[in-house]
Amino acid sequence: MTAPDVVWVRPPGRVPAESRWGHARGLQIGLPPLPGPRGLIRVFAPYLGHPSDRLVNFVAIEPTPSGATERGLSELEWSELDNLRGKRFWSLDGPPTGAPGDPSSPAGGVLDEIDGVQRLTVHIGCERFANGSDVYVRARFVADRPYEVALAAFRRETSVPLDRLTLTATMGNYARLRHLHLADRVVASGELWPGFHGDGFTAHARFGLPELARAGGAAVVTATPDEAAPEAATYAEGTRAHWKYTGRRAVQGWRCDDPRPGLEALANGRACYWASTSPIPGGVSFENFEFAEPFRQGQEYVFSVAPLD
């Protein structure tokens, strides 16, 4: 099991151990071999009343090489290391410098302090994409921000040049996020894609920097459910148990502390749960939810899941 101390959850430095890091009483992330699809960073919010293994969302890594129009997809691309679906992720105490690491031997992460506030930092290696992208992610938690994780994306020297390096939250349908909060209005998924049905994705809705809410100098976009009691929903017969929402409601969001003019928020939607034909109670809701901008080395976005009630 993972060893929690006063503030942190992180692997205890011996094998076997869970690949899980974060606030002992707040937001946590995890990597395979924890259950779930490969090529995804797991996001846990146990303070919402979830069981310890209940995911609230995933984050995927999606690089776009210079001149390309299609992203690499860490969840869906086949691994060239072991021919399984999903790129292999592993953890390190610093940036990756060599061959892919062992996912079953997780790093403990590095603790330090800035202005008297403790931080926990872990790096996430990712195998090379078929499009030539070779990237990694730094995840950082700050002790006095229990509902946040800061995710910074980096291009390795062995990578092709990049136009973009997108980190996208991929499972908004679980919480049935339907309200997107912008600077001067709230946009509903049903208004963006009226009458949408079927088991595919909508086109992306895009919102530029002038449309985004601000918190001091930071740009912020958040999404919330439109149901007062999502745990009481009625599901279609055959809907898998892992799609049935439990616990308290939350607001999920992205914050960019150093926004540039090219920054925009993107969201798409689904009317059926992923990899199924089970309709989502209440209709189309946001699924992928992200910030995007021209590539910047070490660009950092803060993902948060804060209780609403």
Burial 241-264 (b: 16+ CB within 10 A, else e): eebebebebbbbbbbbeebeeebb
Is the same domain home to 178 and 105? no
Alpha carbons 32 and 103: distance in angstroms, whole number: 7
Alpha carbons 35 and 291: distance in angstroms, whole number: 26
- Written as tens digits, the pLDDT of the chain (309 aa) is 344 445 899 998 777 899 999 999 999 999 999 999 999 999 999 999 999 999 999 999 999 999 999 999 999 999 999 999 999 999 999 999 989 999 999 999 999 999 999 999 999 999 999 999 999 999 999 999 999 999 999 999 999 999 999 999 999 999 999 999 999 999 999 999 999 999 999 999 999 999 999 999 999 999 999 999 999 999 999 999 999 999 999 999 999 999 999 999 999 999 999 999 999 999 999 999 999 999 999 999 999 999 997
Choose the final residue of a domain: 160, 194, 213: 160
Interval 160-193: pLDDT, tens: 999 999 999 999 999 999 999 999 999 999 999 9
Q: How many domains does the chain have?
A: 2
* In-domain check, residue 55: yes
Alpha carbons 272 and 277: distance in angstroms, whole number: 6
Interval 213-251: pLDDT, tens: 999 999 999 999 999 999 999 999 999 999 999 999 999
For residue 32, what are its two tokens?
């395979």
Is the same domain home to 151 and 202? no
pTM of the model: 0.96
* Measured CA distances, 219 to 182, 192, 214, 253 (Å): 10, 22, 5, 11
Is the same domain home to 5 and 145? yes
DSSP 246: -
Asked whether the CA dihedral 119, 125, 131, 133 is positive or negative, the reply is positive
Is the same domain home to 36 and 144? yes
Q: Are 146 and 130 in contact (CB under 8 A)?
A: no
Choose the final residue of a domain: 109, 140, 160: 160
* In-domain check, residue 57: yes
Is the same domain home to 4 and 116? yes
Is the same domain home to 40 and 88? yes
* In-domain check, residue 178: yes
**For residue 148, what are the domain limits?**
1-160
* In-domain check, residue 165: no
CA of residue 219 relative to chain centroid, distance:
17
Alpha carbons 145 and 192: distance in angstroms, whole number: 33
Is the same domain home to 135 and 277? no
Is the same domain home to 35 and 144? yes
